[in-house]
A and B are shown apart, each in its own frame.
Chain A
């Protein structure tokens, strides 16, 4: 990378040099529009208000300086070594591309699982970017330009299919630039449960994920994300959700490790009587940097959003939380609750938390609260006075603090994996 080239130039060059830009691609128009949007918007600098505490652009620039992505490398994927041993559909991405050939798709009642590529793209022209348009930014555009072999999950109305597990597998001898794209469309009165996690083996990874979710009337979806990443890996994860009347969306985000993780969660409550539950836990040490930016937009009356993010930050780790709640004019009888509670375990840890409420309706119930504290010394003394050693006492208190964020994790195997990760970390 020459000094004079901007990051956008490098990305553009990568695009033009790749097979994605070949002239006979049906996707070409979509992708070239996205590329020019990315160039026009530019990936956010540190001066960008939304990225003030998370210098992800700089981190990506540095990664690109160290070498190029090796597109020739063929990863060796042993699926059986990491999939959960439970019934369901296990969908595998390798270095950002959906691989139906490696996936275990065998309980498909109510489900339509499709690879989004040149041949299938025309089916998705109407749907893609529909959920992300209001929060569209350079990262989404970059993903649109670069993704190859995305995943579409369609859930037929009035069905409740087997759970879905999505695995992002990464392997390379050098750098991986990954742009997984996932579309989830849940038809009316259907329900789906999705878990997403990443598996790192070799290589340095930057992954720019975009997931778009469209929930139709009375649809339900639960999404649990496990972010226990390699210490060299950087993730920008955009989740964009649109909810129709009477729908419910639950998301649970657990961040444990990685070099940098930025979660952008944007939820638009487009009609009345929606429910949204956002739970998150970040349990950080070392120099891990995790940033959760969430926004929920109440556009119509009678909806409920409930947000609870908790953090335990140790070492020199950094945590950022920004929670936006918009209540539009006319969105009366909105209930919107938000809280972000943090425990700082070391002097070197940094926590930035900011609630941001914009309320344009007058008959609403909204609350927010941010706390940053240490462990309760009196509680530690109490437990020690009963014979517990100090380490066990602290672990017990932290476990109890974290536990609340697990209540919506419905898959037992995932729930116990997270529980175990928490207690291992806190020992």
Chain B
């Protein structure tokens, strides 16, 4: 599904990603872990098409297509979904309001018929249950005055509505209490299928208790320095990142 090869990316002349290689197949859950500043969120942003970042080298192929050729909206329409670390607040625009337009633009791109108001509402009600989100919240200005948990649940709700093939969860666990975490994780797990894949970007292992990864990758200094199965996450939780840093330093010598 996704093949990242030797990806280098920079922002304002600062090199952040320094040669990422990663392959993600349908049905898989990958966790990207790493200390602060290692480039985790940059990777998520580059995949979603944030224009602040410049890809200086390498390639991303997505279903055999060159992802870097696509703008953010085309990526979304091709089935990529980014759950934002800091979901933006938009005064005067409600989730319901923008999501209906977005979903219908996505459907049009995929050659599907636009949903009328009734079908949209029906779909919404069904997906709302998944993340235990209230309709009143979705009619309010997007994320304005939402709690941290409400913002993240709204992200997963949108993911459920758009039915992506590749979901990227950027620090979705940050700012969540244990109940919200469980609800969010439950939503993600329900949406999981053999046809889609998930990349979970996280600093802590705690989310991975609920969304169990098939692969764990450690990102450090803009590279994936270690990959393993879910036990790697547990090891990191126990020992921290210092031993990884030491390993990298030793290897460099």
Q: Which residue of B lies closest to A382 (CB)?
A: B88
Q: Mark A384-411, 1 if CB is under 8 A from B, else 0.
A: 1111111011001101110110000000
**Which residues of chain B are near A382, meaning CB under 8 Å?**
84, 87-88, 90
- Which residues of chain A are near B81, meaning CB under 8 Å? 385
Cα A399 to Cα B94 in complex, Å, equals 12
The closest CB in chain A to the CB of B107 belongs to A387
Q: A382-B87, A387-B103, A388-B102 are in contact. Are A396 and B109 (CB under 8 A)?
A: no
Chain A residues near B99 (CB-CB < 8 A): 386
Task: List the A side residues contacting B91 at CB < 8 Å.
Answer: 400-401
A400: contacting residue among B48, B51, B82, B93, CB under 8 A = B93
The answer to whether B162 has its CB under 8 Å from any CB of chain A is: yes
Q: How far is the CB of A381 from chain B (nearest CB, A)?
A: 6
A378 at the interface (CB under 8 A from B): yes
Residues of B within 8 A of A11 (CB): none
B88 touches A376 (CB 8 A): yes
A153 contacts B by Cβ under 8 Å:
no
CB-CB nearest in chain A for B94: A400
From residue B81, how far is it (CB to closest CB) to chain A in Å?
A: 8
Alpha-carbon separation in the docked complex, A174 to B73 (Å): 51
Q: Which residues of B contact A400 (CB under 8 A)?
A: 90-93, 141
Q: Which residue of B lies closest to A401 (CB)?
A: B92
- Taking CB atoms and an 8 Å cut-off, the chain B residues in 100-149 that contact chain A are 101-103, 105-106, 109, 141
Whether A383 sits at the interface, judged by CB under 8 Å, is: yes
Residue A60, interface by CB 8 Å: no
Q: Which residues of B contact A41 (CB under 8 A)?
A: none
Interface of A is mostly: helix
**Which residues does chain B contribute within 8 Å of A393, judged by CB atoms?**
73
* A378 neighbours in B (Cβ, 8 Å): 88
Q: How far is the CA of A90 from the CA of B103 in the complex (A)?
A: 43
Q: Please, how many angstroms separate the alpha-carbon atoms of A403 and B93 in the complex?
A: 10
Query: Which residue of the partner chain, among A388, A399, A403, A404, contacts B73 with CB atoms under 8 Å?
Result: A388
A394 to chain B, nearest CB (A): 12
How far is it, in angstroms, between the C-alpha of A390 and the C-alpha of B75 when the chains are bound?
13
Q: Is there a chain A Cβ closer than 8 Å to B72's Cβ?
A: yes
Q: B223 an interface residue at 8 Å Cβ cutoff? A: no
Select the residue from B77, B90, B141, B158 with max chain A CB neighbours within 10 A. B90
Bound CA span A388–B108, Å: 11
Complex Cα spacing A400 to B99, Å: 15
Q: CA separation between A389 and B48, bound complex, in Å? A: 14
Number of interface residues of B (CB under 8 A): 31
Q: Are B158 and A386 touching (Cβ within 8 A)?
A: yes
- How long is the Cα–Cα vector from A384 to B102 in the complex, in angstroms? 8
Contact partners of A388 in chain B: CB under 8 A: 73, 98, 101-102, 105
Residues of A within 8 A of B73 (CB): 384-385, 387-390, 393
CA distance A400 to B89 in the complex (A): 12
Q: Is A107 engaged at the interface, CB distance under 8 Å to the other chain?
A: no
Q: Is the CB of B90 within 8 A of A384?
A: no
Flag A342-381 by CB within 8 Å of B: 1 or 0 each.
0000000000000000000000000000000000101101
Q: Is the CB of B76 within 8 A of A384?
A: yes
Tell me if B245 is interfacial: C-beta within 8 Å of chain A. no
Chain A nearest CB from B72 CB (Å) reads 4
Q: Which chain A residues numbered 70 to 87 have a C-beta less than 8 Å away from chain B?
A: none
A387 touches B92 (CB 8 A): no
| A393 to B49 alpha-carbon distance, docked (Å) | 15
Q: Is the CB of B102 within 8 A of A390?
A: no
A388 to B81, CA, bound (A): 13
Given contacts A376-B88, A397-B90, A404-B92, contact A384 B105 (CB under 8 A): no
Contact A379-B76, Cβ < 8 Å, known A385-B49, A387-B105, A392-B105: no
In the complex, chain A residues whose CB is within 8 Å of the CB of B105: 387-389, 392
Name the CB-closest residue of B to A389. Answer: B73
- Residues of chain A within 8 A of B109, CB atoms compared: 387
In the assembled complex, the Cα of A383 lies from the Cα of B94 at a distance in Å of 12
CB–CB A387/B162 < 8 A: yes
Contact of A387 among B51, B88, B90, B106 (CB under 8 A): B106
| B240 close to chain A: CB less than 8 A | no
Pick from B72, B101, B103: contact of A385, CB under 8 Å = B72
In chain A, what residue has the closest Cβ to B106? Answer: A387
User: Closest CB-CB distance, A89 to chain B, in whole Å?
Assistant: 34
**Which residues of A sit under 8 angstroms from B98, Cβ to Cβ?**
383, 386, 388, 396
Bound CA span A143–B91, Å: 43
Once bound together, how far apart are the Cα atoms of A384 and B49, in whole Å? 9
**For residue B82, which residues in chain A have a CB less than 8 angstroms away from its CB?**
385
Which residues of the partner chain B approach A376 to less than 8 Å between Cβ atoms?
88, 90
Say how far A261's CB is from chain B's closest CB, in angstroms.
Answer: 25
Residues of A with C-beta under 8 A to B102? 383, 386-388
Cβ contact within 8 Å between A403 and B84: no
- Which of A384, A386, A387, A403 has the most chain B CB within a 10 Å cutoff? A387
Nearest CB of chain A from residue B221's CB, rounded to whole Å = 26
User: Is B71 among interface residues, defined by CB-CB distance under 8 A?
Assistant: yes
Nearest CB on B from A34, distance (A): 45
Interface core residue of A385, A389, A400, A401 (most chain B CB under 10 Å): A385
Q: Supply 17 A–B pairs (Cβ within 8 Å), ascending by A.
A: A381-B72, A382-B88, A383-B90, A383-B98, A383-B102, A384-B73, A385-B48, A385-B72, A385-B82, A386-B98, A386-B158, A387-B162, A388-B102, A389-B73, A396-B98, A397-B90, A403-B92
- What 12 new A-B contacts, CB under 8 Å, besides A384-B71, A385-B76, A400-B93? A378-B88, A381-B51, A382-B84, A382-B90, A383-B102, A384-B76, A385-B48, A387-B76, A387-B102, A388-B102, A397-B90, A399-B92
Query: 5 tightest CB-CB pairs across the interface, nearest first?
Result: A400-B92, A387-B76, A387-B106, A384-B72, A386-B102
